[in-house]
Amino acid sequence: GENVEQHPSTLSVQEGDSAVIKCTYSDSASNYFPWYKQELGKRPQLIIDIRSNVGEKKDQRIAVTLNKTAKHFSLHITETQPEDSAVYFCAASGGGGSYIPTFGRGTSLIVHP
Amino acid sequence: EAGVTQFPSHSVIEKGQTVTLRCDPISGHDNLYWYRRVMGKEIKFLLHFVKESKQDESGMPNNRFLAERTGGTYSTLKVQPAELEDSGVYFCASSPGLNTGELFFGEGSRLTVL
């Protein structure tokens, strides 16, 4: 089955800096890569996703890049703000005929004012 | 529109006891998923329902876990008897279709087994 590795486990930045979270996946057939944000005490929510037919997708201050050859994808947050502080989870699905996402371990992002 | 709701939000039980977690998906969502996150680890898949049918239960740890979705509406996940390693946050999620992308999560049920 699919295996998703996520790094770093914790990321601390100053407000205004950029943050990058990286994930690798094992199944080359995976074709859908969502990112979820979980604020403290709240539910995980989808913030951005990318499918395998594109290499990059942007939505305001967040962007995701995908390198299918290397089987890795990354989340980029620019001009970080304190409200970006949360746990971020990457996921991959579509491999082996399964549409059920396999998640990474999560990255706790702390943005210091 | 109401989101996915889970009950209880937190349960503390002793080893050997039974706990039942409940999930109400978004109305009209045929797909319902259970996941579990142990502290600091991945959100791990447990099982998937399509309506009332179990489509994939490959992630269920063992036969102490029983999930049901009677009538294809809400779902329950029972742990009996609970063990220490069952502690974690149990997330329920739903989606309208199987390959529509986004999963809509509940806030989770935190289970602590002492």
Chain-chain contact of A100 with B105 (C-beta, under 8 angstroms) = no
Closest CA to A10 of A110, A89, A95, A84: A110
Q: How confident is the model at residue B1 (pLDDT cuts 50, 70, 90)?
A: low
Angle, CA A16 vertex, CA B105 and CA A61 arms, to 5°: 45
Partner B contacted by A81 (CB < 8 A) = no
pLDDT in tens, B37-79: 998 889 999 999 999 999 999 999 999 999 999 888 999 999 9
Q: How confident is the model at residue A99 (pLDDT cuts 50, 70, 90)?
A: confident
Q: How confident is the model at residue B81 (pLDDT cuts 50, 70, 90)?
A: very high
Chain-chain contact of B44 with A104 (C-beta, under 8 angstroms) = no
Q: How confident is the model at residue B101 (pLDDT cuts 50, 70, 90)?
A: confident
| Model pLDDT, residue A8 | 97
Residues of B with CB under 8 A from a CB of A: 3-4, 33, 35, 37, 40-45, 48, 56, 91, 98-99, 101-103, 105-108
Contacts of B102 (CB under 8 A, 6+ apart): A34, A46, A49, B95
| Model pLDDT, residue B39 | 85
Residues from chain A that touch B45, judged by Cβ atoms under 8 A, are 100-103
Residues B110 and B10 sit within 8 Å (Cβ to Cβ)? yes
- Nearest residue of B to residue A5, measured between CA atoms: B42
Chain-chain contact of B91 with A41 (C-beta, under 8 angstroms) = no
Q: Does residue A112 surpass a pLDDT of 90?
A: yes
Residue A6 CA to residue A71 CA, distance in Å, equals 12
Closest CA to A74 of A20, A8, A36: A20
CA distance to partner chain A, nearest, from residue B57 (Å): 12
Chain-chain contact of A101 with B103 (C-beta, under 8 angstroms) = yes
Average per-residue pLDDT for chain B: 93
Please return the burial class of A100, using the count of CB atoms within 10 Å of its CB with bins 0-12, 13-18 and 19+. Answer: buried
Chain-chain contact of B91 with A100 (C-beta, under 8 angstroms) = no
Closest CA to A64 of A21, A2, A17: A21
Residue B66 CA to residue B85 CA, distance in Å, equals 16
pLDDT in tens, A40-96: 989 999 999 999 888 899 999 999 999 999 999 999 999 999 999 999 999 999 877
Question: What DSSP line would sit under B57-103, residue for residue?
Answer: -TT--STTEEEE-GGGS-EEEEESS--GGG-EEEEEEEESSSSS---
DSSP β-ladder status, B19-24 and B109-113: unpaired
Residue A64 CA to residue A88 CA, distance in Å, equals 13
Q: Does residue A23 surpass a pLDDT of 90?
A: yes
Chain-chain contact of B102 with A34 (C-beta, under 8 angstroms) = yes
| Model pLDDT, residue B100 | 66
Which residue's structure tokens are 């349960």?
A: B11
